[in-house]
Structures are given as structure tokens and as C-alpha cells.
Structure 1
Amino acid sequence: MTIPPRTALAFACIAFCGSSLAGAADHASITLYRSDSSGLYASNGDNNVTDGYAVVREQRSVTLQAGVHDLVLGDLPNNLDAEAIALGFPGDGAKVVSQRLLLGQGANAALTGLTGSYVAVLGENGQPLASGTLLRASDDGLVVRNSGGSTTLIRQYAAVSTSGASFPTGSSLRLRVDAARDGQALAVLSYPMSGIGWRAAYVATLQPGNRCSMQFESRASIANRSGRDWRDTKLVLIAGEPQFAKASGPRPMMMMRAMAAPAAAEALPEQSSLADYRSYTLPAPVDLPDGSISQVPLYATRMLDCERTALYENGGNWLPPQPMLNSDFNADSHSSIVSTLRLTAFDSLPAGYLRVLTADRQGVPQFIGEGRINDTPKGSDATITLGTAFDLRGGRERTRFHVDPAGRSMDEAFRITLTNAGDSARIVTVREHPNRWREWKLTSSSMAPGEQTADTLEFRVNVPANGKATLDYAVRYTWAAGDRPQS
């Protein structure tokens, strides 16, 4: 295996010594937390993705020597929490005296992983320069201690060799261990890391007909940019928003590769509660190559009822601390009418993005919009905005505004004009927010509101094909003697 050149010289192959270095084991288990980081899922060349959070548990087979000695666990991810690394040996055969994390970053990352191993350092013509235990690898050179205890600093070298077939990548953990006896032992290692995360990915395909229904697919997208491959890994996905107090450090990112999920389509995660969150245990181990995005089924594909709305909305839910008498307040008008889609969660839906498709005249599914779904408990509604309706437009005009300071009242009226350039009639939902003051009532309207709350008026207006429709309404605000209006 070749290492990138150092100055004018080229490194030769290096490998790790099995007696002092314990390589990464497959079959780890990872508890993976949801992350909405765009960097984790992007396909660009950004090389500083440190978002995401996971807790890894794995076992390493190590060769121990009786007494106090050093060994190195290599092939750790590039970005992990050094303060939260925990390692133990089952039983009382060995204990950890101290530990030190060696970060696998920079040009000397591979050599750093050999710290504590027996190495032979060679010159440009293959002549031996030094051999012994590698104490340090840095830009200043290599520090090697021979069997007699002498230490040598080598600045110019061409190759480093050691027994074995490969060398560790990523970060390494150097341990000082006190063992009762020689022999093989099993070390149990756990640590938090970043550069890896998951989020839900939903696809809704609208079905033909007048009633809104859709085929709903649910998947978990798992992004791995941790600097390490994970093979035959057991995964538990956590949905929710735990508090993370520490900021992540920098780490490199590899090129993204699209990976197919190894689990069968009919094998679905087992869902359960975990404190205030939800957990999804995958039914089979998965492979997560570094620089990849993998997808696994989250729920079985099913048909769902839905509701589509063409929405024309003005104002917001904010209420002022005193009555607003300024005539220009909430006078904004725009022409866009947006298309929304609402569904009711058939089960707990973790946060993610919903892509919506519909068939064109040739029956080919076409993309018509995408929106974010927040964590949605079973039975709750989720609504996304698909986009702006092409054939529909709206307009809003204030037709009356009068303030009666002595009567502590204020009257305001609006006319809403809706146009439809399409070949079929459309129902447009007009949503208004009377928010000059918290005390108000509807005094007149050209049609009855479909919904009225403390801060919202909603009307469903039928707009004919190639035509227009108008809505007129008026509200009256009142306030008490102790309230102080703002002009």
C-alpha cells in the first residue's frame, strides 16, 4: 500500500504490527441520531463536514503481555469525542492505566496510527536508518526508540515498514494496559463520533381522480462521512432532538457514493420509545462505506388520503402589545397563490423531506414540489408547500379604515380578488389574520368563513375557469380604557 509522498521522497508500504495494534472489527453497533445538516447529504467537494452524532460500540481482539505495556487501537473515525471514549476488558484480566487519542489528520495520519508499533525506517536507496518502537510521527520527522532504549530522530526517509498486511486509517487510541497474563483478550470500546447522521426521506405519488390520495413511501437516508467504512453494522436510529452541548471539530470528507440498502424491502425497522424520543432498530446489519448515502425502508409503502389546497394568505399570527392605529399596518398585498398538501400521520413520522410526484398525460411520474415534515406524532397533521400555482393569482385592497378614539374602536374592510386562467374551476382558500389587536369581530362578509379563530379568518372561494371571484369582509377592533393605542 502506497502513502502520499513526503517532500521529495516517496513513502513505501507500511503495515501495522498485530501484537501491539488492534485493527477495527466489523459487526459494530451504532446508535445514530438524526441530523438535518445539508453538508452530510451534499454531493459537492466540501471537505469540512463535522455535523451529525452517533454512539459506536465495538469489540477488538488484542494481544496482551503480562504487566504494564502499550498497545494501539487503530481505524477509529477522524472526528470523535476524546473525553467520552470508554474501553474495558471483560473480567479482571486487564485494566486500562491511561489512554491517549492520536488524531488521524494531516500528511502523517497513517504513520500516527503506527505509534507504539515496531517499525523499520528505510532511506532513499533502501538502506536501514533505524528500527524499533515508533514514538511519534510529525512534520519534524519520526522518533524511534530501539531495543536498547536509545531514541533517534529521522528527518529524511523514504519508507517505513513493519510486519503485517495493512495499516490503520483514521484516528488511533494509544493505551497503557496492565495485564495479569499474556494472551488474546477481547476489548469492548465505545465512543461518540460525528460526520455521520440520518434523516427521513418520503416520496408521495398522487393518484388520479378528484379525491386526494397518494402512495406514500418512507425511508431512512443514512449519510456516512466519518472517515471510516462500517461493515455488517447493527443500526439503531433515534428520532427526536436531544441536546448536544459540545461543538464538533473539523474532519475530512470523502467523495459520496450512492449505495443500495442491503436489507430486504419487506424487512422493516422495529420501532419503540426511548425516553422522550423514538428509536428504530434495523432488522439486519448494513454496510456504510465512507462517503456514501444509504437508504433503508422505514415503514411499509401504503396508500394515504390527503388534502390539497390553493392558499392565498395575508398577514401573520403576530399580535402587537397595544392596538395599532397606523393606517399602513398590515396593508401588504401580493399576487402569489401557493399549493399546499396536508396528510395525517399514520404513525410517528420522524422529521425529513417529502418529495411529491404526480403523473403527466403519458402516465410518467413528474416532480411537483418538496417540503419539510417536522417530527409528527401519530394522528397529527403535516402540511407542506408544493409551490406557486401557475394559473391562479390574488389581489388585496383595503376598502375602508376608520378609527373612533372616543368609542375605542376601529373598523377595517378589505376586498380580495382572485383570478383563474386555467380551464377548470378552482377553490382557493383565503386566509386573513386580523392582527391590529386581540379583540375583534367579523362585522360583515360576502360569504361565511369556513374557519374562524382568535387570529385567523379563512374563506373557501370558488373561482370559475378563465374567470375571477371577489371576497369582501370587514372587522371591528375594540379596546379597553387601560389599553394605549399606537398611532
Structure 2
Amino acid sequence: MPINYRTVLAVAIATLCGVSRAEAADGASMTLYRSDSPALYSSSGDSDVNNGYAVVREQRNVTLQSGVHDLVLGDLPNHLDAEAMALGFPGGEAKVISQRLLLGQGPNAALTGLTGSSINVLGDNGQALASGTLLRAGEDGLVVSTDHGTTLIRQYAAVSTAGDHFPTGSSLRLRVDASRSGQADATLSYPTSGIGWRAAYVATLQPGNTCSMQFESRASIANRSGRDWHDTNLTLIAGEPNFAKTTGPRPMMMRAMAAAAPAEPLPEQSSMGDYRSYTLPAPVDLPDGSISQVPLYAARTVSCERTSLYENGGNWMPPQPMLNETFNTDSNTSVISTLRFTAFDSLPAGYLRVLTADRNGVPQFIGEGRINDTPKGSDATMTLGTAFDLRGQRERTGFHVDKAGRTMDEAFRITLTNAGESARTVTVREHPNRWREWTVTSSTVKPSKQTTDTLEFKVDVPANGKAVLDYGVRYTWTADVQPQS
């Protein structure tokens, strides 16, 4: 298969050098770590991405020559941690003396993958310039070992190689010392980037007066490593291991989208140190430049809670009582729709898309949010968006400071409006944070929740109407506390 490149001039060099080549074998074993890198999952941009993290273990069948000689392993990803690469011979047929990583990047990326292969170099008129083993492809040309010596070709038009497979990615050149000639099995392990995974969840809200949803859990696996992976045995790791290096592989729609696997069988889940692992039940193909999806858990119905939230203020607490009258007078108008549910099992971090049926029964998108790593039995909460028909307004109706008595009184009025055709319940969340010691002195609606920094009310708002909440709080402090004016 030819590669068009440039025009030709051949120069002979009087050295003979033999190189053995071992092609990548299918059936690699890969441990893949979670990555949230937007570049990995982007539907546009460069296909070569140096984000994500995976540890690969694969078997190579190599042809050895007795004694010291060079061996090239091709079809490696574009971004590798050269310091962590290791080749071993389980049968003890050879040992590695030294190794050099040939990066499959830049203008010679495609030819780098052919290092150690038999090639034919052609001129611009189709004439044969050289045939032999490619030793190196660089800016200064091609170095080819032929029957007559070693040839440096600085200008050429095309390169062809036999067979239907064209190696891609980087190559590893090793100098080995073999005890015998012949075939041998070798085990190659290395970390790489350009590949990662994250969880992808879809929740479809079910009709009815109670909140429930059909919940689907999948793993999205992005491959932009510069190499195809075939029949790969895959284990997914959920959690956040520490990576000491600031460069190189890091855990952070393509042209091919793999179809979702059948609902059964599902990955085998287990603990791995402080992390969670998911071992896929069958090998998968991961083409370069693709996002593949596999199920994590079987689809199920999950109970949930939807909240219309009107919130003002925050959890910040001052070091001294805040007596300034203009403190914390901001008024928000938006009512936020949220969704909360309890994790039925350990849920890895990812994104949850929420759908609901319209009047014709067609599922429609109503919001998306991120779920952090959530242990089984813990709550996950996400924001769906801003409610269209609901609005809120907050105004302060009273403020008085008694410095001698070391008290401060403050009152607010919350007005909620509903332009929709059905009554709604709005959760009003306030944060009395002028000082850490406070009590509710009055309220037209009984508080539904009260903590050291939060005050909540459930307010029923009629259809095409409004509701008003009035409440007051009193702050107190001791003589040893210095108020801030």
C-alpha cells in the first residue's frame, strides 16, 4: 500500500544492519482510568490527544537471532511514558540491553510505524529506488537496509509495503541478547494516554404523582491514542489516583461510534485498593478516533425527588457579627429545578442526562449535570435548569440593632409567583449569616429545615397565582465578641 510523500535521490552507505520486527497482537489487556478531559470526548479538533491514562499488557510473538541484535515493536500509541515501558521474555530466551522509543508524531508519523518492516521506495515516475528493511524515517530522509548495504533516500514519492495492515502510532526499538534463534513469546507492558473513560447516565422521568425514573448506566470509552485496539480485555477503574508527573499521560462524536453492548452480561465489579474496578465480560474493539459505550449496570427504576429551589445568600460565616445594614441584601429572581436520588450501587463520576415525555409521549431533554463519585446509599443531587413559570422576589422588611443588649433583628418577605397551569411547591432556602448564633422569631410558614447556616421553607404556590412568606430572625452574641459595624 503506497504512501505519497516527496521526490527522490538515493545515496548508498556501506553498512549492513538487520532488524527484526514484531507486529502488535490482538487481545491486549488494558486497565483504563477515568478521565474528564473535554478533548477526549470532543466531536471536533485534533484526533491526537495527550490526555487520559491506561496501562496496557500485550503479548508479542518475535523472531529472535542468536546473540545481540535489534528488535522493533510497532503499532504503539502516540503518547507513552518511556520510563515505564517494559518487555519481558517469560521463557528466558532473551534479555533487553537497551531500548529507544520512536514517536509516531510529526510529518514522518506514518513512516515511523513501518520501522523494521520490508518496504519498497518509489520515485515520482514510479521507478524503484530501494527495497529492504526500513531502519529510520526522519527529516533527513529514509534509511533502508538492502541486500547491497544501507541506503539513505532523501527524496522520494511513495513508499509501499506488503500485506493489508499498515502499522500506526509509535515504535519501540530494542537491543536484545538472545540465547537462540527462532520464535519467542514476549510480554510488553506500558502506560499510555489518548484514551480514557467516564460514566454516562440517562434518566427518563416516569409519569405519575411521585418522582421515579428509568435509570441507565453506561461507560463511555474515548480512544484518540493514534492506534486501533482489537479484542481488548478491559478493566475500568473508578476513583482518582495521584499522578506525580505534570507531563505525559494524564487522566483527564468521533468519526466512529460503537453500538451499545447488550444489557447482559454486565461488568464484574470489585474493590481495588481505595478504588472501584469494572471488568468487562467480553473483549471489545476500540477504533482510533471513536467513543464506544458499554453498560455498567442493568437499567432499573429509581425513586427520586424533584425540587423547585429559590435560594438567597451562601454558607459563608463572618468572624464577627455583621451590623452593616446593607449586608446580604441581594435578591435572586430565578427558581432552580433540581433532582435528587439515592445511589442504588457505587456510581462512578460522570454526566447524567434527564429526559421527560412531552404531551405526545416523546422523550425530551430537560437538563444535564455532573455526578461525582457516589458510594452506594449516598445521595446525588443535580441542577436541571431554571423553571420557566416560577419566579421569586426577596425584600427586607425590618432591621434593628441593639448594641447594648447585644441583639440584632432582621426580617424578610419572599414573594413567589407561578404562571403555570398547576400548583407548585417551592423550597425557599435562606442563609442567616450575619452571625453564627440566631433563632427564628416569626414565620408565616413553619420551617421545614433548620441548621447552623441554613433555613428552609416549603411554600405552596397556586396555579396562575402567588404566595408570600414573611419571616424574621434574631442574632445574639456575648460580651467578649466584638461586632463589626
Measured against the shorter chain, the TM-score band is over 0.9
Aligned residue in 1 for 2:154: 155
My pick for the range that moved more, 452-461 or 314-323, is 314-323
In structure 2, what is the Cα distance between the partners aligned to 1:370 and 1:327? 39
Residue 463 to residue 214, structure 1, CA distance change in 2 (3 Å): same
Structure 1 362/113 Cα, relative in aligned 2: closer, same or farther at 3 Å?
Answer: closer
The one-letter code matched in structure 2 to 1:91 is: G
Cα deviation 1:100-125 (Å, max 9, x = unaligned): 10000122123223334555544444
Question: Could you tell me which residue of structure 2 aligns to residue 83 of structure 1?
Answer: 83
| Residue 477 (1) aligns with residue 449 (2) | no
Partner of 1:37: 37
Where 2:110 maps in the other structure, the secondary structure is helix
Q: TM-score with structure 1 length normalisation? A: 0.92
Give the alignment of 1:56-67 within 5 angstroms: 56-67=56-67
Distance 1:93 1:250, change over 3 A: closer
What is residue 108 of structure 1 aligned with on the other side? 108
Report the count of equivalent residues.
Answer: 476
Does the 8 Å contact 2:8/2:153 carry over to 1?
A: no
2:442 counterpart residue number: 444
2:12 corresponds to which residue? none
Structure 2, unmatched stretches of 5+, are 10-17
- In structure 2, how many angstroms separate the alpha carbons of the residues matched to 1:19 and 1:162? 16
1:20 aligns with 2:20: yes
Q: Which amino acid aligns with 1:207?
A: Q
Distance of 1:127 and 1:94 partners within structure 2: 40
- Match of 1:228, SS state, is coil
Amino acid at match of 1:309: T
Offset of residue 166 of structure 1:
3.9
Q: Is the CA contact (8 Å cut-off) linking 2:349 and 2:373 kept in structure 1? A: yes
Residue 472 of structure 1: how far off its partner (Å): 1.0
Supply the distance in 1 between the matched residues of 2:467 and 2:120 (Cα, whole angstroms).
86
- 1:432 maps to amino acid: E
* Counterpart residue identity of residue 96, structure 2: V
Distance 1:185 1:209, change over 3 A: same
Give the deviation of 1:69 after TM superposition. Answer: 0.3
Distance 1:384 1:249, change over 3 A: same
- After superposition, the Cα gap between the structure-2 partners of 1:49 and 1:126, relative to the gap in structure 1 and judged at 3 Å, is closer
Tell me the distance in 1 between the aligned counterparts of 2:36 and 2:157: 44
1:387 is aligned, of 385, 388, 391, to 385
Amino acid in the other structure paired with 2:435: W
One-letter identity of the residue aligned with 2:270 = S
User: Residue 244 of structure 1 aligns with which residue?
Assistant: 243
Name 1:217's counterpart in structure 2. 216
After TM superposition, give the deviation of residue 33 of structure 1 in Å.
Answer: 0.8
What are the within-5 Å matches in structure 2 for residues 358-373 of structure 1? 358-373=356-371
Q: Is the 8 A contact 1:19 1:63 kept in 2?
A: no
Give the Cα separation in 2 of the matches to 1:435 and 1:116.
Answer: 71
The one-letter code of the counterpart of 1:77 is P
Aligned match of 2:138: 138
Task: Report the Cα distance in structure 2 between the residues aligned to 1:65 and 1:48, rounded to whole angstroms.
Answer: 35
CA distance in 2, matches of 1:387, 1:64: 63
Distance 2:426 2:482 in 1: 37
Please give the alpha-carbon distance, in whole angstroms, between the structure 2 residues aligned to 1:484 and 1:71. Answer: 77
Amino acid aligned to 1:422: G
More strand by share: 2
Deviation of the 1:366 alpha carbon: 1.3
- CA shift in 2, pair 1:43/1:446, >3 Å: same
Match of 1:93 in 2: 93
SS at match of 2:83: helix
Specify the code of the residue in structure 2 equivalent to 1:385: T
Write the distance in 1 (CA, Å) between the matches of 2:229 and 2:440.
62
In structure 1, C-alpha distance between the alignment counterparts of 2:122 and 2:213, rounded to whole Å: 67
**What are structure 1's unaligned runs of at least 5 residues?**
11-17
SS of structure 2 residue aligned to 1:315: coil
Classify the secondary structure of the residue corresponding to 2:79: coil
1:83 is displaced (CA, Å) by: 1.1
Query: Structure 1 residues 9, 201: closer, same or farther in 2, change over 3 A?
Result: farther
Distance, in Å, in 2 between the alignment partners of 1:165 and 1:48 is 24
Task: For residue 406 of structure 1, report the CA deviation from its aligned partner.
Answer: 2.4
After superposition, give the CA deviation of every residue in 1:58-105 in whole Å (9 maximum; x if it has no partner). 111100010010010000011111111111110221111111100001
Q: 1:250 to 1:323 in 2, by over 3 A?
A: same
CA distance in 2, matches of 1:59, 1:97: 20
Q: Secondary structure at the match of 1:462?
A: strand
8 Å Cα contact 2:74/2:115 also seen in 1? no
How much has 1:147 moved relative to structure 2? 6.2
Aligned AA (1:104): G
Aligned to 1:188: 187
Q: Is the 8 A contact 1:33 1:238 kept in 2?
A: yes
Deviations 1:337-386 (A, max 9, x none): 01111101111111111111111121111111111111111111111111
* Aligned-partner SS, 1:226: coil
In the other structure, the counterpart of 1:288 is 286
Summarize the Cα distance change of 1:481–1:3 in structure 2 as closer, same or farther, 3 Å threshold: farther
Aligned match for 1:375, one of 340, 348, 373:
373
Q: Find the counterpart in structure 1 of residue 227 from structure 2.
A: 228
The answer (yes or no) to whether the contact 1:436–1:477 under 8 Å persists in 2 is yes
**What is the alpha-carbon distance in structure 2 between the residues aligned to residue 386 and residue 95 of structure 1?**
58
- The answer as to whether partners of 2:2 and 2:161 remain within 8 angstroms in 1 is no
Q: Deviations over 1:275-320 (max 9, x none)?
A: 1111011111111111111111111111111111111011111212
Task: Indicate the residue corresponding to 1:303 in structure 2.
Answer: 301
Render the CA deviation track for 1:175-197: whole Å, top value 9, x for unaligned: 10111001111110111111111
CA distance in 2, matches of 1:403, 1:2: 86
Are residues 145 and 63 of structure 1, via their aligned partners in 2, closer, same or farther at CA, if it must alter by over 3 Å? Answer: closer
| TM-score normalized with structure 2 length | 0.92
Change in Cα spacing, 1:297 to 1:162, as seen in structure 2 (3 Å) is closer
SS of match in other structure, 1:222: strand
| Alignment check: 8 A CA contact 1:45 1:255 kept | no
2 CA distance for matches of 1:48 and 1:475?
58
Q: Give the direction of change, closer, same or farther, for the CA distance of 1:231–1:144 in structure 2 (3 Å limit).
A: closer
- CA gap of 1:255–1:299, structure 2 versus 1, over 3 A, is closer
Deviations 1:212-271 (A, max 9, x none): 1111111111111111111111111111111122244599xx94321113x432211111
Does the aligned pair in 2 maintain the 1:50–1:248 contact within 8 Å? no
| Paired position in structure 2 for 1:13 | none
CA–CA separation in structure 2 for the residues paired with 1:212 and 1:133: 67
Conserved 8 A contact 2:37-2:52? yes
Counterparts of 2:131 and 2:256, CA distance in 1:
40
Q: Is the 8 A contact 1:194 1:248 kept in 2?
A: no
